[in-house]
């Protein structure tokens, strides 16, 4: 079976490509390299440089493809507040162009990279798929808009979809095959890694006065390899089953302070952190229920404990051994 991964040069996308190849799939990648790294695309995949906004680029990349895993998107919640049009055009417009190209080519299986950002502020924990969806930033709104279009219009046109709502993706390939870390990261774990390897002098902890066990924010971190495995299970399920929407999280919550403590132990580095004010829009705690993914896919996490997440990242971020 041949699968197209859009955004396959990206942080999560490059791990999905690896997992597909490791499991014997043929893989094409379409990426405009606006964020991803070409070096992170495994050479076993066929690479197409191009944009999901261009039907001609889509047509080339869709040749011989049986299913699409769509990961090409902008994903910085903060940036989406500054520039919502950029997110609307690329995330929503790009996805609709891609879906049109898929229908032109008679391709109906579609795995969509959605996000916990569709939930907005949690009204109860853990968050399950019945939780109200009230995004609090344009990024999350684009994800919800696409989910709605899949549900309400593309289903009638034959698209069978799996919308996968990621919680906080982290970690790197445990065999160290994805070598180029994200540039200018916005998320906690890569920022902690940059503070550990000296790329930045320190990091800010956005508030330590939350109603959590140590006052810092708690999130549900999930290893990218665990995420990738769920994508393959979703592609396979769509061969015979109807569309579905599921959370992908570890169901474990770790605080910023726990991340820092573990990172200092794993790396042996001081990792300077300054306590600052809360970041607007941050909920104190966000943890997934992934029971539906377990039931539908028989999926569970294997690499998403905090030590595995951080040690797999440190393999990529640690300075090269000084060779004298």
Kindly tell me which residue out of 20, 27, 62, 117 binds ligand WQD, with binding defined by CB under 6 A.
117
The answer to the question of residue 217 lying near ligand WQD (CB under 6 A) is yes
The answer to the question of residue 206 lying near ligand WQD (CB under 6 A) is yes
CA separation for the pair 145, 119 (Å, rounded): 13
Work out whether strand 244-248 and strand 203-206 pair parallel, antiparallel, or are unpaired.
unpaired
Residue facing ligand WQD at closest CB distance: 217
The answer to the question of residue 77 lying near ligand WQD (CB under 6 A) is yes
Nearest to ligand WQD of 25, 139 (CB atom): 139
Closest to 67 measured CA to CA, from 95, 94, 36, 28? 28
The answer to the question of residue 62 lying near ligand WQD (CB under 6 A) is no
The answer to the question of residue 125 lying near ligand WQD (CB under 6 A) is no
CA separation for the pair 175, 33 (Å, rounded): 24
The answer to the question of residue 188 lying near ligand WQD (CB under 6 A) is yes
The answer to the question of residue 168 lying near ligand WQD (CB under 6 A) is yes
CA separation for the pair 169, 190 (Å, rounded): 11
The answer to the question of residue 166 lying near ligand WQD (CB under 6 A) is yes
The one catalytic residue in 11, 119, 139, 166 is 139
CA separation for the pair 112, 162 (Å, rounded): 6
How many residues in the shown chain lie near ligand WQD by CB under 6 A? Answer: 20
CB of 212 to ligand WQD, least distance (A): 9
Asked if residues 135 and 120 have their Cβ atoms less than 8 Å apart, the reply is yes
Work out whether strand 273-276 and strand 160-166 pair parallel, antiparallel, or are unpaired.
unpaired
Identify residues 236-295 at the interface with ligand WQD (CB under 6 A): 256, 279, 282
The answer to the question of residue 203 lying near ligand WQD (CB under 6 A) is yes
Alpha helices in the chain (DSSP H): 11-22, 55-61, 77-82, 84-87, 94-104, 138-149, 188-197, 224-237, 256-267, 291-297, 306-317
CB of 144 to ligand WQD, least distance (A): 12
Q: Is 158 left (phi over 0), alpha (psi -120 to 50) or beta?
A: left
CB of 284 to ligand WQD, least distance (A): 8
The answer to the question of residue 187 lying near ligand WQD (CB under 6 A) is yes
Please provide residue 223's backbone torsions phi and psi, each rounded to the nearest 5 degrees: -70, 140
CB of 139 to ligand WQD, least distance (A): 6
Kindly tell me which residue out of 28, 115, 257, 290 binds ligand WQD, with binding defined by CB under 6 A.
115
Nearest to ligand WQD of 219, 292 (CB atom): 219
Please confirm, yes or no, whether 139 is among the known catalytic residues: yes
Closest to 5 measured CA to CA, from 77, 49, 70? 70
Catalytic residue positions, numbered: 139
Q: Which residues bind ligand WQD (CB under 6 A)?
A: 75, 77, 115, 117, 139, 166, 168, 186-188, 191, 203-206, 217, 219, 256, 279, 282
């Amino acid at each position: 079976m041949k699968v197209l991964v859009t955004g396959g040069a990206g942080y999560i996308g490059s791990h999905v490509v690896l997992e597909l190849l490791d499991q014997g799939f043929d893989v094409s990648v379409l990426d405009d390299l606006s964020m991803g790294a070409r070096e992170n695309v495994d050479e076993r995949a066929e690479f197409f440089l191009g944009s999901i906004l261009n039907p001609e680029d889509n047509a080339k990349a869709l040749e011989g493809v049986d299913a699409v895993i769509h990961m090409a998107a902008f994903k910085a919640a903060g940036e989406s507040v500054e520039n919502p049009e950029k997110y609307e055009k690329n995330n929503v417009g790009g996805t609709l162009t891609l879906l049109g190209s898929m229908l032109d080519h008679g391709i109906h299986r579609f795995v969509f990279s959605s996000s916990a950002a569709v939930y907005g502020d949690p009204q109860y924990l853990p968050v399950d798929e019945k939780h109200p969806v009230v995004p609090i930033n344009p990024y999350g709104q684009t994800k919800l808009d696409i989910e709605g279009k899949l549900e309400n219009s593309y289903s009638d046109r034959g698209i069978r979809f799996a919308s996968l709502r990621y919680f906080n993706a982290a970690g790197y390939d445990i065999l160290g095959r994805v070598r180029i870390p994200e540039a200018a990261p916005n998320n906690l774990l890569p920022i902690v890694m940059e503070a550990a390897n000296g790329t930045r002098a320190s990091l800010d902890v956005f508030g330590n006065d939350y109603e959590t066990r140590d006052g810092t924010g708690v999130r549900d971190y999930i290893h990218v390899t665990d995420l990738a495995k769920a994508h393959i299970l979703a592609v396979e399920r769509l061969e015979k089953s109807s569309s579905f929407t599921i959370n992908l999280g570890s169901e474990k919550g770790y605080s910023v302070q726990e991340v820092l403590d573990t990172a200092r132990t794993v790396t042996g580095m001081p990792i300077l952190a300054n306590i600052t004010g809360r970041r607007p829009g941050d909920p104190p705690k966000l943890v997934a229920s992934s029971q539906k993914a377990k039931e539908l896919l028989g999926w569970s996490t294997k690499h998403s404990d905090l030590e595995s997440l951080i040690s797999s990242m440190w393999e990529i971020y640690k300075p090269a051994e000084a060779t004298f």
